[in-house]
Structure 1
Amino acid sequence: MTVLASFVVDSKVLPIGQLVRENPSMTLEFERIVPTEDALMPYFWVHGGDIASFEGDLAASPLVTDFDLLDQFENTALYRVEWKPDQGMLIQGIVEAEGAILEGDVGQAQMEFLVRFPDHDHLGRFYNYCMEHDITVEMRQIYSLTDRSERAREFGLTADQREALVLAARYGYFSTPRETSMSELADELGITQQAMSERIRRGMEKVMLEALGLARNDEE
């Protein structure tokens, strides 16, 4: 059963965290991670601070292999930064344990993550990886989808429907403009795009009907 883990690590664990410490007014928010054959490429938003100065630090850092500015508006920018796996051991551990970062915020002193793992065994694999690489992890909360589904049961949602809606909301599917696509959400859960669309449609229908005090026509 899918397990969500909320934990905190020192910002010095990742090279990106070290760069943020050099820019006091800046925070980072991870979006997603793409593992390649010989590197890890996290996508993240940079909020606040001096963007030009931050890019200078990226270019000068011996830890960074390459980076691209993908989007920017006002004092917020979306980057893709590439560094070698041995310079991003925390991320490597998440990837090896088949985890998916749902939320990741990098501040001056610490980084906070919410990661989805396939089950408790994979979470244990990640924790053991951290211990083997001297990465101190402070677990804040560990729960399965069913542990946090009291509200979902009020709406009559199935576990699959709730998971789909939570993922869509966290990844900005309901934002304007949308920050992710149906196919990307389906890939995250390892299901077809049609199946993902159906879960979201049925889930949204149940939430709206319940919120409006109307009777549901199905009990799925």
Structure 2
Amino acid sequence: MTLTAEFVIRSPSLPFVSLAASLPSQQLECVHGLCHEGGSRVFVVYLEPDDNVSEADLSALDEVVDTSPLGRASGKEVYQLTIELADVVSEAFAPERFTATQMEPTVVTPDGWYETKLFQNYNAFNGMRTRCEEYGIGVELVSISQNPPEDDGSSQYGLTERQQEALQLAIARGYYESPRQVSTKELAEEMDISQPSMSSLLRRGERQLLTSALGSQPQVRSLSR
């Protein structure tokens, strides 16, 4: 099972956040190899022509070591930049710690990095989030989904679509961690349902997963004295 997660990374140490704040468009796109390639410090940056960012402007950024213009693509100015990463970013995203594949270009805004990545499983995503937070880098989950989606509205474990959605949200938000990071009330608000409905979805989903994993419900035998 693989997962596609969309999330926001926030830290003043992230490259290009200050640049995005200075642009009229307030954003730029980039492709990078963090979490995937050892020692990767190369970013390919896509800029709107109306933002009027020159090669000299990019070279003047504190984090930029080398700048190479690549021309235009999809109506945007493209540059290859070699970056000197802050230690906290380099350590948090060391490729030996976890593996994630970039699915779409990172959108850099003054608020942080908006990313869409492919993870092996929930543990891989939660491990990434925990390690980032250990280095003072915030991670806010926007959405997470299992690949590929089921066509019949149920998962291979017999879950309904809503049960699967509830369990995925609960796992991603830390409901099953010890101590719990979120309440059923907070989960219910995110799914726009009542707290009893959320509790029911989780309870039925958990029961279905256990039944699927352990087989049919065993017959209960009365103990004779």
**Distance (Å, rounded) in 2 between the aligned partners of 1:124 and 1:75:** 36
Write out aligned runs for 1:69-88 (5 A).
Answer: 69-72=69-72, 76-86=76-86
How far did residue 5 of structure 1 move? Answer: 1.0
Change (3 A) 1:101 1:40: same
Q: Check the 8 A contact 2:11/2:138 in 1, yes or no.
A: no
Q: Distance in 1 between matches of 2:74 and 2:116?
A: 27
Within 5 A, what are the aligned runs for 1:1-220? Answer: 1-10=1-10, 12-33=12-33, 38-47=39-48, 48-52=50-54, 55-72=55-72, 76-86=76-86, 89=89, 93=93, 95=95, 96-103=97-104, 104-146=106-148, 148-150=149-151
Aligned residues: 150
TM-score for both structures, normalised by structure 1 = 0.56
Contact 2:98-2:127 within 8 A present in 1 as well = yes
Aligned counterparts of 1:67 and 1:29: Cα–Cα separation in 2: 16
Distance in 2, matches of 1:126 and 1:138, equals 12
Q: Whose helix proportion is higher, 1 or 2?
A: 1
* SS of 1:51 mapped into structure 2: coil
Question: Contact 2:6–2:143 (CA<8 Å) still a contact in 1?
Answer: yes
Higher mean displacement: 107-116 or 71-80: 71-80
Secondary structure at the aligned position of 2:62 is classed as coil
Letter in 1 for 2:134: E
After superposition, the Cα gap between the structure-2 partners of 1:23 and 1:90, relative to the gap in structure 1 and judged at 3 Å, is: farther
Compared CA separation, residues 51 and 149, structure 1 to 2 (3 A): farther
Structure 1: give runs of 5+ residues left out of the alignment. Answer: 154-220
Displacement, 1:32? 4.2
Amino acid aligned to 1:79:
Y
Question: How much is the aligned-residue C-alpha RMSD, in angstroms?
Answer: 3.2
Question: For the residues of structure 1 that align with 2:41 and 2:92, how far apart are their CA atoms?
Answer: 8
Contact 1:58 1:67 in 2 (8 A): yes
What is the alpha-carbon distance in structure 1 between the residues aligned to residue 17 and residue 91 of structure 2?
12
Q: Matches of 2:94 and 2:31 in 1, distance apart? A: 14
Structure 2 length normalisation: TM-score?
0.55
- Structure-2 change in CA distance of 1:145 and 1:36 (3 Å): closer
- Secondary structure of the residue aligned to 2:63 is coil
Q: Could you tell me how far apart the structure 1 residues matched to 2:88 and 2:70 are?
A: 21
The answer to whether the Cα contact below 8 Å between 1:71 and 1:78 also exists between their aligned partners in 2 is: yes
1:136-164 C-alpha deviation (Å, 9 max, x unpaired):
11111122113x343999xxxxxxxxxxx
Q: Does the 8 A contact of 2:45 with 2:79 survive in 1?
A: yes
SS of structure 2 residue aligned to 1:56: helix
Structure 1 residues 77 and 90: alpha-carbon distance in aligned structure 2, compared to 1, 3 A threshold: farther
The Cα shift of 1:30 comes to 2.5
Which ranges of structure 2 fall in alignment gaps of 5 or more residues? Answer: 155-225
